């Protein structure tokens, strides 16, 4: 359940960047290959924000698909599973995007 530590990191990061502000929304981007489960993070968010300037804030999560580049056939593709395999069958792939776990913006009162 690393989502708990990640949620704590998320709240700390917002509090440090915006000290003293009442936060009403947090917008997160969870890449398909980030290894983080959005539902678990939502579950932790209310617990971790309780008593902070983020208490009651809406958590808006977008989950962009991953993009990989195949080093064999040179095409870019969206893997449909955590195991990134190119449609050509190659496993020699580079993850171009989709591993990020990012706070894109916050809404303040």
Partner 1 sequence: MCGICGCDEAVLTEPAAPVHGQHHHHTDGGAVAAGGTRTIELQQKVLAKNDSIAAANRRWLRAHDVAAVNLMSSPGAGKTTLLERTARDLAGQLAISVIEGDQETTLDADRITSAGSAVIQINTGAGCHLDAGMVARGLDALAPPAGSMVMIENVGNLVCPALFDLGEDARVVLGAVTEGADKPRKYPHMFRQADVVMLNKIDLLPYVSFDLDRYLADLRQVAPGARVLRLSATSGDGLDGWYDWLCGHLPAPPE
Contact 26, 10 (CB under 8 A): yes
Please report whether residue 9 would count as binding partner 1 according to CB under 8 A: yes
Beta bridge partners of 67: 97
Shortest approach of partner 1 to residue 48 CB, angstroms?
8
Q: Binding of partner 1 at residue 2 (CB under 8 A)? A: yes
* 76 or 107: CB nearest partner 1: 107
Considering only residues 79 to 108 of the shown chain, the ones binding partner 1 according to CB under 8 A are: 82-85, 91-92, 100-108
Q: Return the closest-CA partner of residue 72 out of 62, 63, 82, 84.
A: 84
User: How far is residue 60's CA from residue 89's CA, in Å, rounded to a whole number?
Assistant: 36
Structure tokens at 2: 């690393």
Q: What is the contact mask toward partner 1 in residues 19 to 58, using x (rule: CB under 8 A)? A: x-x------x----xxxx-----------x----------
Minimum gap (Å) between residue 23 Cβ and partner 1: 9
Q: Other C-beta atoms within 10 Å of 12: how many?
A: 12
Report DSSP state, residue 98: S
The answer to the question of residue 10 lying near partner 1 (CB under 8 A) is: yes
Question: How many residues sit in the footprint of partner 1 (CB under 8 A)?
Answer: 40
């Amino acid at each position: 359940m690393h989502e708990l530590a990640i949620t704590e990191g998320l709240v700390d990061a917002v509090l440090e960047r915006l000290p003293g502000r009442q936060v009403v929304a947090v917008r997160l981007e969870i890449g398909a290959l980030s290894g983080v489960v959005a539902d678990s993070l939502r579950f932790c968010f209310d617990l971790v924000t309780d008593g902070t300037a983020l208490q009651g804030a809406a958590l808006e999560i977008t989950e962009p698909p991953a993009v990989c580049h195949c080093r064999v056939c040179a095409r870019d593709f969206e893997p449909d599973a955590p195991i990134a395999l190119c449609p050509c069958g190659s496993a020699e792939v580079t993850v171009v995007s989709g591993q990020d776990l990012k706070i894109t913006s916050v809404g303040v009162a």
